[in-house]
Chain A
Amino acid sequence: MDTAHIREIRSVIARGKRWDLAFAIVGIVCLMIGLLTVAALFVDMAVKGLPRISLEFFTNFPSRRAESAGILSAWVGSTLVMVVTAVTAVPIGAAAGVYLEEYAPRNWMTDVIEINITNLAGVPSIVYGLLALGLFVYQFGLGQSVLAAGLTLALLILPVVIVATRESIRAIPAAMREGSYALGATQWQTVRYHIIPYSMPGILTGVIIGLARAIGETAPIITIGALTFIAFLPSPPFQPEPPFLSFEWLFAPFTVMPIQMFNWTSRPEAAFQVNAAAAGFILVLMTLAMNGLAIWLRYRLRRNINW
C-alpha cells in the first residue's frame, strides 16, 4: 500500500474522531446542566440548614418560635405513612405484576390493562389526592389519618411497583420457567418457588424507588387534609400489656416532612426559612438513603442470581 493511501485513511479517521470529541463535549455539558443544578440546590440548602440541625430539631414539635421548632411530628408521620404505603403497595403491586406476566391471557383486554397501568404512572398526584379524599376519607370514613395518607400514596406508587415487578419477571430466562414446568410443576408452584424469589430484588428496588418518590409528595397529602401544625404523636404501635400491638396510630391525624417544610417556607420570618432548609436537607437525605438501600438490596439479593 502506498503512503498516499495510508495518509488518506488517517485523515478520514481523524475527521471521524473530531465528531466523537464534539459529541462527548455536548453530552458532558448536558449532563452537567442537570447534575450541577441539583447539586447547587442541595449545597445551598445544606449551607442554610446545617447550623439548625441538632438533636432537638428531631425531638421537638413544631413551635411558633423558630429556634425551638422541630420536625418530630413530621418525620414520625412520614415514617408511619411510608410503612402503610409499603405494606399495601408491595403485595398488591407484586400480585398484579405476577398475574399480568404469568397468568393473564394474551388478548386485547390485557393490552388495555397494560396501557392503562403505564398511563396511571403519569396521572398527576393531586388527582390521586382528590380520589382519596372522596374514597378513603369520606366514603370509607378513614378520616384525615395516617391510614388514608398511606393508602393514597400506595395507589400513587402502585404503577411503579407493577412495572418494576413485570420488568424483573421478564428478566428471568425462559430456561428457568421451562425447567420448572418440565419437572411437572403447576403454574403456582413455578411462581412460588421461582418467579417470586428471582424477581424479588427487582420488586424491592421498584418499591423503594416508589417510596422515595412518595416521601416527597405534598399535593395529595394536603388534599386529603393533613395538618400543618401538630404537637402530638400518634399512639405508639407497641404497648406493654396484651395484645401488645396497637393499631390506633393508623387513625391518628398527622403531618409529613414536605408539608412541614411547606408550612415553614410560607412564614414571613427568616428564621423559619432556615428551618425549612434544614427539613429539606433531611428529606433529601432520607430519599438518598432509600435509593442507597435499593442499590444495596439489589446488589445483595442478586449475588446468588446471575444469568
Chain B
Amino acid sequence: MEIARPEVQRFTGAADGAIKAAAGGLSFYYGAVNALRNINVPIHEKRVTALIGPSGCGKSTFLRCFNRMHDLYPGNRYEGEIRLFPDNTNLLAPEVDPIEVRMRIGMVFQKPNPFPKTIYENVAYGLRVRGERARRVIDEKVEQALKSAALWDEVKDRLQSLAFNLSGGQQQRLCIARCLATDPELLLFDEPTSALDPIATGSIEELIHKLKDRVTILIVTHNMQQAARVSDYTAYMYLGELVEFGRTDDIFVKPRDRRTEDYITGRMG
C-alpha cells in the first residue's frame, strides 16, 4: 500500500507555526516483526498532534520511538529518522544518547505510574536526576510544575504524603507535573485517559489544551472524540503505516482516504 506521501509533504511545509519534530522514512522492528513502515509525519510546534488508529496499528510503538523507549528492550531496531528542531538532531541516531533524548522529551503513560514515594519526591525526581541539589530551586520548580498541572491547590497541604493516596486522575496529573518540572520540549501522551473516569478524563483534556501554549504535544488515543476535542492535527495509522495526516478538522470532516473514513465513521476498528 502506498502512503499518501504528497499530502504529508504538503503539511511538512505548512505555514502554521514551526515544525518541532519530523519523522522521515521511519520503520521499526520488534525482532523480525516489522511494526512500523516508512512513516513520514511532521509535528507542529506548540500544537497537539493526535495519533489514532485501531489497536495494534503501531501508534504507541511510534510514540515510544520519540523518547527511545524501545532501547530499553533487546532486539528492537529503528530505521529512518526522527528529527528534532531547531537543532535538527536525529533522535534515532546511534550516537545520540537516549538519555539525552529523554531529558528533552517527556512522556505520560497509559496507566498513571507515580513512584511509591511522596508527591513532592515524584515531581522532584526529574530534577534530582539532572543533579539539582539546591532545596530552594527544587521547591520552587515542584510548585510551578504542580501549578501547571492544575494539581497544586489539591495537594499543596500534603506534599509529603504518598502519591498512591491520590485518585487516578490526580495521579495522572502528578505524572504530567513530573514531566513539566524539567521543561520538556515535546510531551508524549500514550492514551493518558484510558484508565480514567469521564470527569478525570475531562480535566486531563483541559490540561492538555492549556499546556500547548508552552509545549508541543503528541498524543496517542483510541478515543476519536478525544482526538477531535484536543488535537490540532491528526495522524491516522493502520497496520504500521501512516494512512493520512492533516488538520484535525479536515481529517474528521473530509478524510481523503477511504480507510480513514471507515475508521472515523465506525465501520472499522
Taking a contact as CB atoms under 8 Å apart, the answer to whether A178 and B72 are in contact is: yes
Contacts A175-B111, A198-B116, A304-B116; A182 near B125 (Cβ below 8 A):
no
Residues 146-190 of chain A: 1 if any B CB is under 8 Å from the residue's CB, otherwise 0?
Answer: 000000000000000000000000000101111111111110010
The docked-state distance in angstroms from the alpha carbon of A173 to that of B116 is 11
Interface pick from B45-53, B86-94, B100-108: B100-108
B69 interface residue per 8 A CB criterion: yes
Taking a contact as CB atoms under 8 Å apart, the answer to whether A183 and B129 are in contact is: yes
Count class of interface residues, chain B: 20 to 34
A298 interface residue per 8 A CB criterion: no
Taking a contact as CB atoms under 8 Å apart, the answer to whether A181 and B164 are in contact is: no
Contacts A183-B182, A304-B164; A178 near B109 (Cβ below 8 A):
yes
Taking a contact as CB atoms under 8 Å apart, the answer to whether B164 and A182 are in contact is: no
Taking a contact as CB atoms under 8 Å apart, the answer to whether A194 and B102 are in contact is: no
Q: Contacts of A185 on B, CB cut-off 8 Å?
A: 99, 125, 129
Residues 281-307 of chain A: 1 if any B CB is under 8 Å from the residue's CB, otherwise 0?
Answer: 000000000000000000000001111
Question: Out of A106, A181, A194, which one reaches B115, CB within 8 Å?
Answer: A194
Contacts A194-B115, A198-B116; A304 near B162 (Cβ below 8 A):
yes
Question: Out of B100, B102, B111, which one reaches A182, CB within 8 Å?
Answer: B102
Question: Out of A179, A306, A307, which one reaches B175, CB within 8 Å?
Answer: A179
The interface centre, meaning the residue of A175, A183, A194, A198 with most chain B CB atoms within 10 A of its CB, is A183
B179 interface residue per 8 A CB criterion: yes
Q: Contacts of A193 on B, CB cut-off 8 Å?
A: 115, 125, 128
Closest A residue to B109 by beta carbon equals A175
- Total number of A residues with any Cβ neighbor in B under 8 Å: 23
Q: Contacts of A194 on B, CB cut-off 8 Å?
A: 115
The docked-state distance in angstroms from the alpha carbon of A183 to that of B111 is 16
The docked-state distance in angstroms from the alpha carbon of A106 to that of B74 is 8
Q: Contacts of A306 on B, CB cut-off 8 Å?
A: 116, 164
Taking a contact as CB atoms under 8 Å apart, the answer to whether A175 and B113 are in contact is: yes
Taking a contact as CB atoms under 8 Å apart, the answer to whether A186 and B115 are in contact is: no
Q: How many whole Å from A255's CB to the nearest CB in chain B?
A: 44
Taking a contact as CB atoms under 8 Å apart, the answer to whether A177 and B162 are in contact is: no
Taking a contact as CB atoms under 8 Å apart, the answer to whether B109 and A183 are in contact is: no
Taking a contact as CB atoms under 8 Å apart, the answer to whether B113 and A183 are in contact is: no
Q: Contacts of B182 on A, CB cut-off 8 Å?
A: 183-184
Residues facing B in A178-213 (CB within 8 A) are: 178-186, 189, 193-194, 198
Taking a contact as CB atoms under 8 Å apart, the answer to whether A183 and B178 are in contact is: yes
Closest B residue to A187 by beta carbon equals B99
Contacts A179-B109, A182-B102, A184-B103; A305 near B116 (Cβ below 8 A):
yes
The docked-state distance in angstroms from the alpha carbon of A180 to that of B67 is 12
Taking a contact as CB atoms under 8 Å apart, the answer to whether B72 and A183 are in contact is: no
Closest A residue to B179 by beta carbon equals A183
Closest A residue to B108 by beta carbon equals A182
The docked-state distance in angstroms from the alpha carbon of A305 to that of B103 is 27
29 A-B pairs with CB atoms under 8 Å apart are A175-B113, A176-B115, A178-B69, A179-B109, A179-B113, A179-B115, A179-B175, A181-B69, A181-B72, A182-B107, A182-B109, A183-B106, A183-B129, A183-B182, A184-B99, A184-B102, A184-B126, A184-B129, A184-B130, A184-B182, A185-B125, A185-B129, A193-B115, A193-B125, A193-B128, A194-B115, A304-B116, A304-B162, A307-B116
Closest 9 pairs (CB-CB, A-B): A184-B103, A175-B113, A182-B107, A184-B102, A183-B126, A305-B116, A179-B113, A185-B129, A184-B99
Mark A residues whose CB is within 8 Å of B.
105-106, 173, 175-186, 189, 193-194, 198, 304-307
